[in-house]
Amino acid sequence: MKKLFDWGIRASWALPMNGEVSVENDFFLGVKGTDIAFAGPYKPSHKTQSKKFIDAKGMVLLPGLINAHTHLPMTLFRGLEDDVPLKVWLFERIFPLEKEFVSPDFVKTGTELAALECIRFGTTTVSDMYFFVEDSAKAWDKAGLRGIFGQAFMDFPLPEDKKLGPDHFGRFHALRKKFAKSDRIQIALSPHAPYTCSDDLLKKIAATSKETGALLHTHLSESVDEEPESLAKFGKTQTERFRDLGVLGPKTICAHAVHLTPSDRQILKDSGTAVIHNPDSNLKLGSGVAPVAEYLAEGVRVALGTDGSASANDLSLFGVMDLATKVQKLTHNDNTAMIASQALWMATQGGANALNLGDQIGSLSPGKKADFILVDFNFPHLQPVHDPISHLVYSAQGLEVDTVFCNGKMLMKAKKHVSLKPAAIFAKAESYRKKIRAFLAKLKAS
Amino acid sequence: MKKLFDWGIRASWALPMNGEVSVENDFFLGVKGTDIAFAGPYKPSHKTQSKKFIDAKGMVLLPGLINAHTHLPMTLFRGLEDDVPLKVWLFERIFPLEKEFVSPDFVKTGTELAALECIRFGTTTVSDMYFFVEDSAKAWDKAGLRGIFGQAFMDFPLPEDKKLGPDHFGRFHALRKKFAKSDRIQIALSPHAPYTCSDDLLKKIAATSKETGALLHTHLSESVDEEPESLAKFGKTQTERFRDLGVLGPKTICAHAVHLTPSDRQILKDSGTAVIHNPDSNLKLGSGVAPVAEYLAEGVRVALGTDGSASANDLSLFGVMDLATKVQKLTHNDNTAMIASQALWMATQGGANALNLGDQIGSLSPGKKADFILVDFNFPHLQPVHDPISHLVYSAQGLEVDTVFCNGKMLMKAKKHVSLKPAAIFAKAESYRKKIRAFLAKLKAS
């Protein structure tokens, strides 16, 4: 029998995420090189057509999850000084810590730890924004994952400038050149937020995005103070200002978008801008709830993110999917306000569309990249299996992910990492913990 | 060396939950029979004093978690017909299904599945309310767990009455007698809810609770319609009516308590009644958010529950702890409105106090029952360990629980069940799934 597939995967259930969110039984996925070569009902001949074969009984197959807004290296600050008032946490803890610790090695270590975690939780693509992007992107690339890494911009010096100099646009262009041939890593433009970037800076970034076709990844209307400040300073909402400066458009993704007016929502819709919803972080920081049911109903593009794990504490999109539906049910007093299938769509095809990668990833269909995961339902909390969609969103946690492929390559098998060595990375993270602890003790004493 | 302990456990970190919520490093727990014989700093001699010894490196030791409101057998309905409008789900799905399927064997199977899940997620004590209580309590007892099982009461026939007859008070007294000598199983009185029980029934139940000392476990003010209905029908809130009928008091626990007025809260406080907070279920069903920060600040006793897994989809208190803090942060626009240590307290000593078991369980101190768990932090999302309290509430999911003891007996080791056989229980659950599916197909066609 001719071997048509490098890998063949038979799964009890699958969510191909093509068009509508539905469950297929006894599904087969054939992988050839980096791509999906076949996706459809399993036939016994598929096994013999596969060089390597995975029989995933009691497991559900779905596209690799997409985390469209995060700050990967912040894993090293996870759980640090939680539950102190927000401004103390940010200005007296996180900012001084970043000033002291953020370095190429810190970013590399934090990204490696994040890669371990993302793979463990079935995330194969991220859109990231932090410092020393080259070191982060290289570590991510080495882990075998897919990602878009944004060069940061703001009116103030960045923690990386002392080492890399002040030319952020130059850095962006050099990085783009460096990763131009990568089929998994892209470089984006990341103006930090409306309140940290001048009109001129934002205009220049927007023009550069249009020139180069690079994604523009920014924050918008996160905490409750931001819109009153914008109105006072500019006489317009953050969204109106972004529109007027040319920042919005189908290549732009805005994280949070919590405090938008109906007119702001219309602006996002008309411009084709995508919103990245991070409910875990928004609730943890007391920022509020984005009107996601409205975004969905009105046709605003919307995807999911975890935010950095210093604010939301983990990088699991399973928790985010669950919480996203529940907060909409709560804020609308309606248990159908946002449903499980919508969350799954946002974490897969919706995420891919937001990142302008919809033609490559986000669904299980021939010609797309072979980014997929198997989630093991052989756990007490996932029995019996009345409905895989409900189970994935409302019962699964993330640690049930059993197998992860990205770009046709196996990164995790039977819940064990293949591409990375956890023990060595844990040891490096622990050595940072000790240094951070000593620094914090001094900081608090001063 | 004399063997002082049947089991000795050394853990990298521990949360003894004595008085305040704090973390101890390199902790030792000595178990003798069913009890904790020693709890304190580890010394090398402890190892030789222990017949069996567990070296839990990279793990945190804490009391077994307490789920103070659930309906265990509903595991068999998990994920069934989610995301349809609430009244359709309840009246056209769950009620007909219960009428068709609830039997001694259904209850036994559903409880066994719940026991597997609770052990997997580190829950050692529950307060349950469902039907065929004897079958449920026996299955729970056999699994080695601790629980309080409420005989249901309402003005209408119960699904169990066809088999057991209409004498619910007789059943309660017989069950109490049957389990009188058990050191792990208690029988409670469970009037279903204010809107399903007459004044006379509630008065009789309250009197029976006072006579026998049995816990009274009921629902209170869950969904948004209930208080307007109570005001229209009785001219008082549900809480006022409960007070006037003698239902409230330190032996009474009320699940949900979502829509209470400040004056209702004062009534709960003055009577010593405990509230069981079930945020996962409340959000999923679109019921609202209980004012838990207010309960905590005002001194109302409050504990945590999952509710049945048909509404909240799993029995993990880790998810509940996380969500409980986040919804309070959200509703108060304040990231300190409820903090991680408060959630951990509610899931352990607070839960024990609510169930009137505070002298037996809920903390790691000599003389208390040896109900404890080890949570494995050797996962990417729990590294580095800046703060075990933050990790347990904001990052852990439940599947990290490695070892579970109840009443001095090991129920799970290295994430494998000791007291139960998952495969056989999964197979029984699957056979119910098939029957339920066939019934639902007929129901929807009719």
Q: Any bridge partners for residue A253, and if so which?
A: A217, A274
Closest C-alpha to A443, from A100, A106, A133: A100
Q: Could you tell me what percentage of chain B is helix, strand and coil, using 3-state DSSP and rounding each to the nearest 5?
A: 40, 25, 35
Statement: residue B312 has pLDDT above 90? no
Tally of CA atoms within 13 A in the half-sphere of A444 that contains its CB: 11
B121 near A CB under 8 A: yes
**Counting Cβ atoms within 10 Å, is residue B266 exposed (0-12), middle (13-18) or buried (19+)?**
middle
Cα–Cα distance between A57 and A26 in angstroms, integer?
A: 9
**Which of B223, B326, B392 to probe by mutation at the A interface, max A CB count within 10 Å?**
B326
Question: Amino acid identity, residue A169?
Answer: F
Bond preceding residue A384 cis, omega within 30 of 0: yes
Question: Amino acid identity, residue A138?
Answer: K
Q: What is the pLDDT of residues A238-272, one digit of tens each?
A: 999 999 999 999 999 999 999 999 999 999 999 99
Give the β-pairing of A24-32 and A65-70.
unpaired
Q: What is the pLDDT of residues B195-249, one digit of tens each?
A: 999 999 999 999 999 999 999 999 999 999 999 999 999 999 999 999 999 999 9
B169 Cα to chain A: minimum distance (Å): 34
Name the residue with tokens 């079935």.
Answer: A122
Statement: residue B24 has pLDDT above 80? yes
What average pLDDT does this structure show over B300-317?
A: 96
B416, closest residue in chain A (CA to CA) = A379
Question: Amino acid identity, residue A155?
Answer: D
Cα–Cα distance between A67 and A320 in angstroms, integer?
A: 10
Q: Give the DSSP letter string of A405-445.
A: EETTEEEEETTEESSS-HHHHHHHHHHHHHHHHHHHHHHHH
Cα–Cα distance between A179 and A200 in angstroms, integer?
A: 27
B401, closest residue in chain A (CA to CA) = A399
Q: What is the pLDDT of residues A284-302, one digit of tens each?
A: 999 999 999 999 999 999 9
pLDDT band, very low/low/confident/very high, at B194 (cuts 50, 70, 90):
very high
Cα–Cα distance between A196 and A218 in angstroms, integer?
A: 11
Closest C-alpha to A275, from A299, A302, A249: A302
Q: How confident is the model at residue A2, as a pLDDT? A: 85
Cα–Cα distance between A341 and A387 in angstroms, integer?
A: 11
Q: What is the pLDDT of residues B363-405, one digit of tens each?
A: 999 999 999 999 999 999 999 999 999 999 999 999 999 999 9
DSSP three-state, residue B218 = strand
Contacts of A14 (CB under 8 A, 6+ apart): A23, A24, A27, A29, A39, A60, A61, A62, A364
Could you tell me the two tokens for B236?
Answer: 């008082």
Contacts of residue B398 in chain A, CB cutoff 8 Å?
381, 397
Q: Which residue has the higher pLDDT, B91 or A134?
A: A134
Question: Amino acid identity, residue B81?
Answer: E
Q: How confident is the model at residue A88, as a pLDDT? A: 87
Closest C-alpha to B29, from B367, B353, B340: B367
3-state secondary structure B279-301: HHHHHHCCCCCCCHHHHHHHCCE
Contacts of residue A397 in chain B, CB cutoff 8 Å?
316, 319, 397-399
Q: How confident is the model at residue B111, as a pLDDT? A: 98
Complex ipTM: 0.97
Bond preceding residue B104 cis, omega within 30 of 0: no
Within 10 Å of residue B79's Cβ, how many Cβ atoms?
24
Could you tell me the two tokens for B196?
Answer: 């399903």
pLDDT > 90 in chain A, percent: 94
Closest C-alpha to B238, from B142, B44, A257, B252: B252
Within 10 Å of residue A350's Cβ, how many Cβ atoms?
25
Cα–Cα distance between A319 and B100 in angstroms, integer?
A: 34
Cα–Cα distance between A67 and A345 in angstroms, integer?
A: 12
Q: How confident is the model at residue B10, as a pLDDT? A: 98
Cα–Cα distances in angstroms (integers) from residue B276 to residues A297, B126, B281, in the given order: 35, 12, 12
Which B residues 18-47 touch A at CB under 8 Å?
Answer: none
B90 near A CB under 8 A: no
Cα–Cα distance between B149 and B132 in angstroms, integer?
A: 10
Could you tell me the two tokens for B162?
Answer: 């066809």
Cα–Cα distances in angstroms (integers) from residue A322 to residues A237, A329, B377, in the given order: 30, 11, 23
Closest C-alpha to B141, from B74, B72, B68, B69: B72
Cα–Cα distance between B48 and A68 in angstroms, integer?
A: 53
Could you tell me the two tokens for A320?
Answer: 């985010």
Q: What is the pLDDT of residues A193-242, one digit of tens each?
A: 999 999 999 999 999 999 999 999 999 999 999 999 999 999 999 999 99
What average pLDDT does this structure show over A79-99?
A: 89
Cα–Cα distances in angstroms (integers) from residue B77 to residues B20, B127, B139, B446, in the given order: 38, 19, 18, 21
Residue A104: left (phi > 0), alpha (psi -120 to 50), or beta? alpha
Cα–Cα distance between A65 and A361 in angstroms, integer?
A: 10
Q: How confident is the model at residue B446, as a pLDDT? A: 83
Q: What is the pLDDT of residues B139-165, one digit of tens each?
A: 999 999 999 999 999 999 999 999 999
Residue count of chain B: 446
Which A residues 189-248 touch B at CB under 8 Å?
Answer: 224
Statement: residue B308 has pLDDT above 90? yes
Q: What is the pLDDT of residues A132-147, one digit of tens each?
A: 999 999 999 999 999 9
Give the number of beta-carbon pairs within 8 Å between A and B: 219
Enumerate domains of chain A plus CATH numbers.
5-63+369-414 (2.30.40.10), 67-354 (3.20.20.140)
